[in-house]
Amino acid sequence: MELLDRNSFQDDAGFAQLLDANDPLRHMRDAFFIPKIKGSSKEEIYLCGNSLGLQPKLASVYVKEELEKWHKLGVKGHFESDNPWMNYHEGLAKVSAELVGAKPSEVVCMNTLTANLHFLMVSFYQPTAQRHKILIEDHAFPSDHYAVESQIKFHGHNPAESMLLLKPREGEECLRTEDILKAIDEHADELALIMLPGVQYYTGQVFDMQQITDAAQHHGITVGFDLAHATGNIEMKLHDWGVDFAAWCTYKYVNSGPGAVAGCFVHEKHHDNPDMPRFVGWWGHDKATRFKMENTFVPIQSAEGWQLSNPPILSLAAIRGSLETFEQAGGISALRNKSKQLTAYLRFLLNNRLKEEVGIITPDEELSGCQLSLTIKTDKPGKSVFDAIEAEGVTCDWREPNVIRVAPVPLYNRFEEMVHFVDILEQAI
């Protein structure tokens, strides 16, 4: 849809309905199951796609298809039917790659997010006596912090010395790109790895992955990203940027179900290095000789070479349903276009009505995705405001110490919902 000047926005349901009527993606909402308010036939205002995306209708179709295949074929399902289980994951590579700006050979769906970060750090964190530090943010998602800390300990180093924590400036919530680049330059001789988010989970800030990668690799530092809040949310070009590795979950903006199999990216420049350290399993072994059952590991020369075990097909089926839904919407570029408009309209409504009562810590314009992180500036506790809007049929989430995260998702959220959300928030405050 054509981006409107913010000065043309109007704060009323009629204007929002007009935006919805002119939205070329409005039909995509029908591709999802929308939860109902408890005890009612009315749909929720679901703004929690940054935590768990809604179920695409195709997901249940494809999961049922695989259950029926298992019912009818048993073990033969690995080799028979239109989508045999042996290579089922290969059919997910093309659209997964498009979501992160990669080649299909550079992505694979496997494991879970933190497991993938660990397996990738086995390959990409190779500390030396001089270069042993990992640069992460001070307010990293706890699982990332735990993973980095444990990898440092595993290699015999002290996290107090080997974890370099980036902090925002005094009185600020978000990291400035220039401060990240400065830290890279100042500590270049000590850094073995940089691992940062593509989108920060608490503030919703989009990191400048291209600049960070360029700065890191100028000094010969390996760089990887946690894309949990970026994949399916913003446009990326991991291959062109030269990022070494990345991992993401598929249950947030990729809408593949709770605890769904995750995704990972390994740049093709690392594919033909059989001597690269890695924890291996037979599903990463050369496909042509895998079933000879020999004990000499020959890695597949793609991201698949980091696989360990055959994946859970029922979860891959749900991912297939979601990825096909992305294709129906025209891909991430079309969705990002609507997302900018949808989030800008929500910002306008909040600033128009609640500027003194609600703060938005998420940066503006290109430094944000779907999510807006709100703080309550009145004497009323933020958690009580959150509880009040949930009671009125809004699903979003609360993050300690003081943020209500709301995420209008372009696949299924409407402009009119933004007006109703702000109505409910205003009443709660």
* Residues 190-204: tens digit of each pLDDT: 999 999 999 999 999
Helix extents (H) in 219-331 = 238-241, 313-328
The pLDDT, as a whole number, for residue 4 is: 63
Pick from 315, 314, 324, 322: nearest CA to 67: 314
Give me the residue label for tokens 């990898």: 151
Q: Could you give all domains of the chain from N- to C-terminal order, each with its CATH number?
A: 6-31+331-428 (3.90.1150.10), 64-328 (3.40.640.10)
For CA atoms 344, 349, 351, 356, the dihedral sign is negative
Q: Which helix (H) or strand (E) holds 246?
A: strand 245-248
Instruction: Transcribe 377-427 into DSSP letters.
Output: -SSS-HHHHHHHHHHTTEE-EEETTTEEEEB--TTT--HHHHHHHHHHHHH
Rounded to whole angstroms, how far apart are CA atoms 201 and 369?
11
Rounded to whole angstroms, how far apart are CA atoms 80 and 74?
10
List per-residue pLDDT tens for the chain, 429 residues long: 555 667 789 999 999 999 999 999 999 999 999 999 998 999 999 999 999 999 999 999 999 999 999 999 999 999 998 899 999 999 999 999 999 999 999 999 999 999 999 999 999 999 999 999 999 999 999 999 999 999 999 999 999 999 999 999 999 999 999 999 999 999 999 999 999 999 999 999 999 999 999 999 999 999 999 999 999 999 999 999 999 999 999 999 999 999 999 999 999 999 999 889 999 999 999 999 999 999 999 999 999 999 999 999 999 999 999 999 999 999 999 999 999 999 999 999 999 999 999 999 999 878 999 999 999 999 989 999 999 999 999 999 999 999 999 999 999 999 999 999 999 999 999
Rounded to whole angstroms, how far apart are CA atoms 358 and 344?
16
The pLDDT, as a whole number, for residue 274 is: 81
The pLDDT, as a whole number, for residue 154 is: 97
The pLDDT, as a whole number, for residue 332 is: 97
The pLDDT, as a whole number, for residue 223 is: 98
Ramachandran category for residue 331: left, alpha or beta (phi over 0 → left; psi -120 to 50 → alpha): left
The strands making up 403-406's β-sheet, listed across from edge to edge, are: 358-360, 372-376, 403-406, 397-399
Per residue in 186-237, pLDDT (tens digit) is: 999 999 999 999 999 999 999 999 999 999 999 999 999 999 999 999 999 9
The pLDDT, as a whole number, for residue 49 is: 97
Pick from 98, 183, 77: nearest CA to 135: 183
Task: Give the angle 407-408-411 at the CA atoms, nearest 5°.
Answer: 125
Give me the residue label for tokens 């919530």: 173
- Residue 136's DSSP bridge partners are 165
Give me the residue label for tokens 């444990």: 150
CB 189 within 8 A of CB 131: yes
Helix extents (H) in 235-331 = 238-241, 313-328
CB 124 within 8 A of CB 244: yes
Q: Which helix (H) or strand (E) holds 180?
A: helix 177-186
Cβ burial of 169 (10 Å; 0-12, 13-18, 19+) is: exposed
For CA atoms 96, 100, 104, 108, the dihedral sign is negative
- Residue 375's DSSP bridge partners are 359
Cβ burial of 40 (10 Å; 0-12, 13-18, 19+) is: exposed
